[in-house]
Chain A
Amino acid sequence: MSWRNVKLIFLREVLDQLRDRRTLFMVAVLPLLLYPLMGIGMFQMTTLFSEQPRTVVILGANDLPALPLLNGDRFARTWFRISTDADKLRVISDANPAPDQPPLDKAEAESKARLLERAQQMKQLIARRVLLETKLEQAREAKRPVEVLNLEAELQTLTDPLGQMFHNSDIQVLIVIPRNFKANLERLRDELAQRGSAEKSLVSFDYPRPVIVQNSADEKSVIAHNRVTDVMREWERSLLRSYLRESGLPEHLPTPVNPTAIDLAVAEQMSASVWSKLFPSLLVIMALTGAFYPAVDLGAGEKERGTMETLLICPATRTEIVLGKFLTVMLFSASTALLNLSSLGFTGRYMASLASGGGMAGKFGDLALPPLASLAWILVMLIPLASLFSALCLAFATFARSSKEGQYYLTPLLMVTMGLTVFCSSPGVEIEPFYSVMPVMGPALLLKGLLKATGPATDLYLYAIPVLLTSIGYSLVALWWAIEQFGREEVLFREAERFDLRLWVKHLLRDKEPTPSFTEAGFCFLVILLLQFLSMKSMQGAMQGIAEGERGLLQVRLVLIQQLALIATPALLMGVMLTTSMRQTFSLRWPGFGRLGCAMLLPFALHPLSYELGRSLEWFFPKPPPGLVEALKSLSGDSVPLWLLLLALAVAPAICEEIAFRGFMLSGFSRGGKVSLAVALSSLAFGIIHMIPQQVFNAALLGVVLGMMCVRSRSLLPGIAFHLIYNAMGVLHGPLGSRISDEGIWSWLFRHDQGALRYQPVLLCLAALAAIGLLHRLTRHPNAHATAGKPDPMSDDGQQSRPLRQVDDRHLLNDRQKLLIVASVKAPK
């Protein structure tokens, strides 16, 4: 590796990008102009934006009490917090027009009459509905289920036409005042004045109340309804206060507590909270977009302009080329993000100062820019983000044939990132140990926390270590992937061929090879993952309405079906259809008694270790949802016979999952000759399929053990044996564990914690020693003379030319076989 070459390529690419008008526009001009322009736009919007008045119809307005709710065709301004809001509601009432009111013109009078007519039509139905609801309430309280069902059905048949009528009526809110409402209220007032002396039953005195009708699926109706309820509440309070006053009672009687609210947020915290919401998301999104356009230009663009080969024939190695390009993309990614952030920061501050100076409610006060320490943290977090996105984008861009194709890859990448940022910016989501090791989320959440904290946040500083370490790890993997892409002939010299599905399927079925290809293995994983996801709904449906006691049994059945139909079957089908040798694909080979025996002993050593590891890592993972905990409990209940439980949770997974993950996928992933990568990928896939973070972690760890076992023994059997016994131990841990003695000498090995069996350090040490010994024996190189089956590419790790040759030899062999068939020579078997 020559850093001189990397630097040369980097400098050239930067110069090249700076001479490109599009890139400059995206990186520098757009952010500098965008936010001020958006600010101006917002200002104009707030001044120009005016709401259309919504229609409120009031029936029975003549029965309103004396305190005026209405003022002509508006609600009285008194009841609005902002008095101009009164103009946002147009009131049509059936009240007698005031004598001083100017007569309506013809069109207005017609529309008023039409609306009132429609309201009148609905009035009857509404009254019946109110009655029905009261009855339903009573029936529910009296626990008469048959009557409840009947009433519910009746209510539904009434609601549907009513809803339709309301929707078509152009009325946003309809208020129905009951007859004699005014009289009732006056009576209430009088009773109150006499302290209930006229009739002793003041406490139980009740009367029909007004009804407010809205449609919560219609935004206009919702807004109008909210305004109306605010107005009514204000009016109601005032009414009550006047009654109390007239009765010689204290006005504040209905609000005896009425605490005084004090907001102690200082301006600094206010602005910190604003920035902590805006900056992390913007940083992530802009680091991505800033990386993407230069990456497409540097990858696909270079191919498109025909300069890729010029670069490939210079002495710089492909790693140097990719590194040079990567650094360029990263520079642009980081500068885009920073420019956007500063532009937003200054615009926001300016806007806030305008708002507070201009009489508008200065919600943020003086929006101070984040302190220097926070700015430094933004820079620190930007590095892993920008490097991850740059490497990812570069890999995608290298893969693309043309800039246009490259642009297509932006959408999914952006969607995923947006999803993550939306999650991170939602209120209440804070950094946790688990999130801190996730890509993108770690830096975004840490930054959110750091920007929010106004003082030193020691607990957050600790998170910086895992966040940075893992983020840099992810970036390195992505970079390695980009380099890998750059080394692939078929990627660099992809011709813009027309994709023909029929041809491709034909090719898949015709040009089969003994073991599946890398892509086929990846596809198998996606199919299994998708099937799992799709089956969730039907599983949920099956579980519904099942009595508590039978749930466990049903769940066991579902697990069995899931294992057989959704994990083993796709892998086996793909094996039959896409490969020529089931034996090689699924490593069907006798591993020898020694290996098999070791594989059967290993669970006894590994189970205590992984169990205690899981327990000690509980703090790390987010808490599982309560539904899941319940489901697991119902499985371990006594309702399911133990043998069935073992079948579903140990035997079936051992066979089905091994067939899919160590069979099809591992053979496919190891086709490139990189066994470590194959084991890593297959165990990652194995982990992901387990869905819940704790299990993902656990399964991925075991996947590595299982993968190594399979590669080194070139047989699926040890894995199946290990998997079966390991899972069985998990199942038996609960019921049998409590019976194991922890007294006397046994207390050195076991203890019980809330009924669960726990392992003592001594046992763990012994188990670790045994595990190391067994693993050593199991992952030993296979004997030199056993060369049948899969080539053992482990010995070729690092040398890239040999495994390739091996694969290609197989091509040649295939062709020779074909030739033989063509010449119709019968080959003796």
Chain B
Amino acid sequence: MSGNPGEAGSPHLLGNAGSPSGDLRISVRTPRVITVERLSKRFADLQTGGFTALDDVSFEVQPGEIFGLLGPNGAGKTTCLRILSTVLRPTSGTAFVAGYDVALHPAEVRARIGFMSNNTGIYDRMTAWEMVEYFGRLYGIPEVALQERITHLFNRLQMNNIRDVLGSKMSTGMKQKVSIARTIVHDPPVLIFDEPTSGLDVLVARNVVDEIKSLREQGKCIIYSTHIMREVEKLCHRVAIIYRGKILAIGSIEELADRYHQPDMEELFFQLIDAHEEQLKLVV
């Protein structure tokens, strides 16, 4: 019903992604690149009248850290990440990315994140090179730097063989590579991956996970959402277990194991969910 979140923001700072300056709030928030405070999101729903996809969620992510969002399908992971990428507006609560409020400065936020999910497809009628180049230009990277950057990315991701292949002719693995290149073309300080390996075969999934690992080593701040325990164990420093829009537990894998006396991540997950279901039954 209401307008576009992008309109309210001041002109976004293209080209200097990751080096925000000046603002007092920014300097305060910089150590924690992502701050989510009491975020809620409700959707209208015909069947039930309203549906709370995200309920009072708070967490923080530091640079150089991979933060895992672990939860089953429909737990609210995608909604949470969509709010962080400013595609959705929160119903209540605030979220800061790289020092900018997602509700007030959406364009600044978008310039500083790389976002990849199942729903961020690539264009059928564009070649791999054109696709990455197009988004690089939208991020405002100067032309010379952009060409260098894309050449570098295509070498690193071994994509030179699909350089001039149209999106419609690519395999899923190729498309995923293009998506990764698109996500990191502007070298953003924050990266958000929403189930990047779902629907991929083992080989491609492994490549994606390796790529994300190498991004962590570059000191990026990464949020990684998945429902696959093994990926969390392999990749994440800290993890939040999310279920029915609520965060049930948050901490590093070791901490969680200690806290709930359960070394097996999968068991821990089911234990938490069962406990939550019990609690819900009591309330009703």
Residues of A at the B interface (CB closer than 8 Å) are 2, 4-5, 8-9, 12, 15-16, 19-20, 305-310, 312-320, 483-484, 486-490, 492-493, 497, 500, 503-504, 507, 510-511, 518, 671-674, 799-801, 803-805, 807-809, 811-812, 815, 822
Contact = CB atoms under 8 A, between A and B. Distances in A.
Interface in B112-136: 113, 115, 117-126, 134-135
A306 B175 CA distance: 12
22 contacts: A2-B11, A8-B134, A8-B137, A9-B138, A15-B125, A305-B124, A310-B121, A310-B135, A317-B106, A318-B7, A483-B3, A486-B4, A487-B3, A503-B47, A507-B46, A673-B1, A800-B3, A800-B5, A801-B8, A804-B89, A808-B92, A822-B284
Given A307-B123, A800-B2, A812-B91, 4 more contacts: A2-B14, A9-B138, A308-B119, A314-B139
A467 to B, nearest CB: 30
Contacts of B121: 305-307, 309-310
Nearest to A7: B137
Contact of B135 (A312, A314, A673): A314
B86 to A, nearest CB: 8
B134 A315 contact: no
A319 B46 contact: no
A317 B113 contact: no
A309 B166 CA distance: 19
B138 A316 contact: yes
A511 B119 CA distance: 31
A319 B11 CA distance: 13
Interface string B67-85: 0000000000000001001
A811 B284 CA distance: 20
B62 to A, nearest CB: 22
B44 A490 contact: yes
B22 interface: no
A313 B115 contact: yes
Contacts of A306: 118-121
B4 A319 contact: yes
Nearest to B139: A315
B12 interface: yes
A247 B104 CA distance: 104
Centre residue among B46, B47, B106, B118 by max chain A CB count within 10 A: B46
A511 to B, nearest CB: 4
B251 interface: no
A20 B166 CA distance: 12
Contact of A811 (B11, B46, B50): B50
A309 B6 contact: no
Contacts of B42: 808, 811-812
Contacts, number: 144
A313 B124 contact: no
Classify chain B's interface size: 35 or more
A672 B115 CA distance: 30
Given A307-B121, A310-B182, A510 B49 contact: yes
B103 A309 contact: no
B88 interface: yes
B74 to A, nearest CB: 12
A317 B2 contact: no
B215 interface: no
A20 B125 contact: yes
Contact of A315 (B3, B7, B47, B110): B110
Contacts of A310: 120-122, 135, 182
B61 interface: no
B222 interface: no
Contacts of B49: 507, 510-511
A27 to B, nearest CB: 15
A671 B1 contact: yes
Interface of B: 1-9, 11-12, 14, 42-44, 46-47, 49-50, 82, 85-89, 91-92, 103-104, 106-107, 110-111, 113, 115, 117-126, 134-135, 137-140, 166, 182, 284
A317 B4 contact: yes
A723 B11 CA distance: 47
A81 to B, nearest CB: 60
B11 A309 contact: no
Contacts of A672: 1-2
Nearest to B140: A315
B120 A16 contact: no
A610 to B, nearest CB: 33
Contacts of B124: 305
B122 A511 contact: no
A313 B103 contact: no
B145 to A, nearest CB: 16
Given A307-B123, A316-B138, A511-B50, A800 B8 contact: yes
B140 to A, nearest CB: 7
A310 B92 CA distance: 25
Contacts of A805: 92
Contact of B88 (A2, A5, A489, A815): A489
Contacts of A799: 8
B113 A313 contact: yes
Contact of B4 (A20, A318, A518): A318
Contacts of B119: 306, 308-309
A790 to B, nearest CB: 16
Contact of A487 (B4, B11, B47): B4
B7 A319 contact: yes
B103 A8 contact: no
A812 B126 CA distance: 45
A80 B97 CA distance: 89
A497 B46 contact: yes
A807 B2 CA distance: 11
A16 B130 CA distance: 11
Nearest to B186: A315
List 9 A-B pairs, minimum CB-CB distance, nearest first. Answer: A317-B6, A306-B121, A487-B4, A672-B1, A318-B4, A511-B49, A310-B120, A800-B3, A19-B125
Nearest to B108: A315
B92 A503 contact: no
Nearest to B42: A811
A483 B1 CA distance: 11
B107 to A, nearest CB: 6
A142 B110 CA distance: 92
B12 A315 contact: yes
A305 B168 CA distance: 10
Contacts of B113: 313
Contacts of A511: 44, 49-50
A319 B9 CA distance: 12
A315 B134 CA distance: 12
Contacts of B134: 8, 12
Contacts of A2: 11, 14
A811 B40 CA distance: 12
Contacts of A809: 92
A5 B12 CA distance: 12
A419 to B, nearest CB: 31
Contact of A489 (B89, B103, B120, B284): B89
A548 to B, nearest CB: 53
Nearest to B284: A822
A674 B3 CA distance: 10
B1 A312 contact: no
Given A310-B182, A507-B49, A811 B123 contact: no
